[in-house]
Amino acid sequence: MSTLTKREQIEQSIDGIFKLLHEIRREPGSYAQNEQVLHALKSQGYLCALEMDFWIRDEQVKIQPISLNTLKKKLAGNGPDRDFTYLDKLRTHAQAAIAKFSEEPPEPKKRSRSAIESQIEDLKASVSSLHAVNMVLVQALEVNRRDLITIADTVNTGLRQKRINDAINRIIKILGMNPAPFDDTSVLSMEKHLKLVPNDKTNR
């Protein structure tokens, strides 16, 4: 019997859902035949209804059913790397990772004129997508440049930390504007965010 309070169980389940989705993206083959997981990924409601006790390497993870409203309320007010929109994006990315893993091997490329023309159109679409990604990255770099100048000019420690956090959240939101699959910012969100370190030296 669990000794956790109701609130702690909810927090444990939410944390477990995040860990599961990240793990599916890393190891989709481990979940491609798991009917319970496949069903949970179909919708937000099914994900909230998931009850699962499993291991990720040496860590035991527990997920208990919670209501969709409770999940949304608990994630409201979080940064873009921990809010409900981000969680749902993780769900769809996990779905896509399993679907890609389960795809049949591609057929050998044909050398007919129509096949080559089709390949050219695919490459054009890919170039257009990468061009869009490049434009978003240019925008992100410019915003980041301005933020760094502002942060460097900020003397107050508390205000500087706030501006650092705002800058991080701003970059994550901008990068999330990329077309899929380049809108995946989870690799950024798994890292510890930048924190100020107290300086014992007195400024002269």
Local structure of residue 49 (DSSP, 8 states): T
Q: pLDDT value at position 201?
A: 46
Q: pLDDT value at position 197?
A: 53
| Dist CA 56 CA 19 (whole Å) | 8
Closest residue by Cα to residue 185 from 193, 194, 177, 196: 177
Q: pLDDT value at position 42?
A: 96
Provide CB contacts within 8 A for 102, sequence distance 6+: 32
Q: pLDDT value at position 119?
A: 82
Q: pLDDT value at position 202?
A: 44
Q: What is the pLDDT of residues 114-154, one digit of tens each?
A: 878 888 888 888 888 888 888 888 888 898 899 999 999 99
Q: pLDDT value at position 187?
A: 55
Give Cα 68 to chain centroid, integer Å: 19
Q: Which pLDDT tens digits describe the chain residue by residue (204 residues)? A: 568 899 999 999 999 999 999 999 999 999 999 999 999 999 999 999 999 999 998 999 999 999 999 999 999 988 787 889 989 999 999 999 999 888 866 566 667 888 788 888 888 888 888 888 888 888 888 988 999 999 999 999 999 999 998 888 888 888 877 777 677 766 565 445 455 555 554 444
Element (DSSP H or E) covering residue 126: helix 113-152
SS3 call for 60: strand
Check if the beta carbon of residue 32 is closer than 8 Å to that of residue 101: yes
CA triplet 92, 171, 162: central angle to 5 degrees? 120
